[in-house]
Amino acid sequence: MKISEFNYFLPEELIAQKPADKRSESKLLVLYESGKILHKSFRDIIDFFEKDDVIVLNDTRVFKARVYGHKRTGGKVELLFYKDHFSGKYYALVGGRVGESSIVLINGYEIKIFKDKENLYLVDEPAELVELIMERYGEIPLPPYIKRPVGKDDEERYQTVFSRKHGAVAAPTASLHFDIELLNKLKNKGVNLVYVTLHVGPGTFLPIKTESVEEHKMMPEYCEIPSETAEVINKAVCSKRNVLFCGTTVVRAIEWASEDKEVKPKRGYADLYIYPGYNFKVVRNMLTNFHLPNSTPLVLVCALVGKDLILKAYNEAIERKYRFYSYGDAMLIWKGSY
């Protein structure tokens, strides 16, 4: 497949620059496998669930990973930090002209970096120092298509209300629409909420540069599937309940940890790349936002119900002035119970 097949035109004014006033008041486009489309408010998602159904969420938390500094010569440098969870070392995606090795000055601190590949660098400093610098001088790394300075509100709104494990450089944005009130209503209805952890890495900002979709290489991301989460999902699948997987991060994590239609407890670096032609082991229903053209999240959702249906839904969303990307509206891809 050519990556150009996953292109579409989006008017710039539909790129959401800020979140909805209230999380659960975003729009929700419901796409059925038949091609039927409904238009709802996000809070209406509760109507799709009954007692003992399951919703799977990613509890990662975005840290203030973007830090600005400069070289000794005065040139500006941008660092986007992320952690290797096995070695404990930090790496940085670097913006600015630096050599194979360099020292970046950040408010009196000196950070030594060494080139790993392309603009990815190993940070040759203790993790404690990097974390101190991020906490004092870092900012939430909003995506580059949000053309405004990061505000204090973003520290809350670019996190899910259930985020708890620091480690992501981007939010699992499909779940930004859940607020505490809606989650409590789901719990009161008897819906089981379970969690995985996938720390979104800098690969989320990297477009597919190969002409062929299949030739792209995904950057691995740290992932944990707890045994209790696997158990609840497997029981729901066997009981033919509805299970909703919230976001491309959750879909990728669950499919990475699944064998023979069963989710296994697992911990490690998820390197699974999902594109059309992939045979899903467990995932049927998915909550997602509207994604950038030619991106890995877009080819993933196209793998679930087909490129033609997804692009049809995107075109209808554009006609109805849905808001796109991280702070935008949501799509529910619904196939029902197992």
Instruction: Point out the domain boundary residue: 84, 105, 137.
Output: 137
pLDDT of residue 205: 67
Task: Examine residue 92 and state whether it is found in any structural domain, yes or no.
Answer: yes
Domain's final residue, options 85, 102, 137: 137
Number of domains in the chain: 2
DSSP assignment of 232-284 equals HHHHHHHTT--EEEESHHHHHHHHHTEETTEE--EEEEE-----TT---SS--
The β-bridge relationship of strands 76-83 and 90-95 is: antiparallel
Same domain? 204 vs 329: yes
320: alpha, beta or left, given left = phi > 0 and alpha = psi -120 to 50? alpha
Q: Does residue 39 belong to any structural domain of this protein?
A: yes
Residue 149: inside a domain: no
Tell me the CA distances in angstroms from 87 to 122, 127, 134, 268, one per residue in order: 12, 10, 19, 12
Kindly list the distances between the CA atom of residue 113 and the CA atoms of 38, 74, 98, 150, in Å, as whole numbers in the listed order.
50, 17, 9, 25
Distance CA 83, CA 324 (A): 29
Residue 119 sits in the same domain as residue 267: no
Q: How far apart are CA 271 and CA 252, in angstroms?
A: 9
pLDDT along the chain (338 residues), means of 10: 95 97 98 97 98 98 96 94 92 92 95 90 96 96 95 96 96 98 98 97 80 92 97 98 98 97 96 96 98 95 98 98 98 94
Structure tokens at 162: 């259930």
> Is 268 a domain residue?
yes
CB of 77 closer than 8 Å to CB of 68: yes
Same-domain status, 268 and 166: yes
Q: Give yes or no: residues 54 and 75 share one domain.
A: no
DSSP letter at 183 equals H
Tell me: do 20 and 131 sit in the same domain: no
Asked if residue 315 and residue 276 are part of one domain, the reply reads yes
Q: Are residues 215 and 252 in the same domain?
A: yes
Indicate whether 281 and 172 sit together in one domain.
yes
> Are 57 and 84 in the same domain?
no
Residue 148 lies in a domain: no
Last residue of a domain, one of 83, 105, 137: 137
Residue 239 has φ and ψ, to the nearest 5°, of -90, 5
Query: Radius of gyration of the chain from Cα atoms?
Result: 20
Three-state DSSP at 12 gives helix
123 and 43 co-located in one domain: no
Structural domain includes residue 143: no
Q: Angle at CA 259, nearest 5°, toward 256 and 265?
A: 65
Residues 6+ apart with CB under 8 A from 9: none
Instruction: Tell whether 57 is covered by a domain.
Output: yes
Structure token digits, residue 191: 């819906």
Contact at 8 Å (CB) between 278 and 91?
no
Residue 79 domain boundaries: 66-137
Q: Tell me, what CATH number does 251's domain have? A: 3.40.1780.10
Please check whether residue 294 lies inside any domain of the structure: yes
For residues 192 and 79, membership in a common domain is answered with no
d(C-alpha 326, C-alpha 317), whole Å: 15
Enumerate the H helices of the chain as residue ranges.
Answer: 127-137, 154-157, 180-188, 227-238, 248-256, 296-305, 307-319
199 with 322, same domain? yes
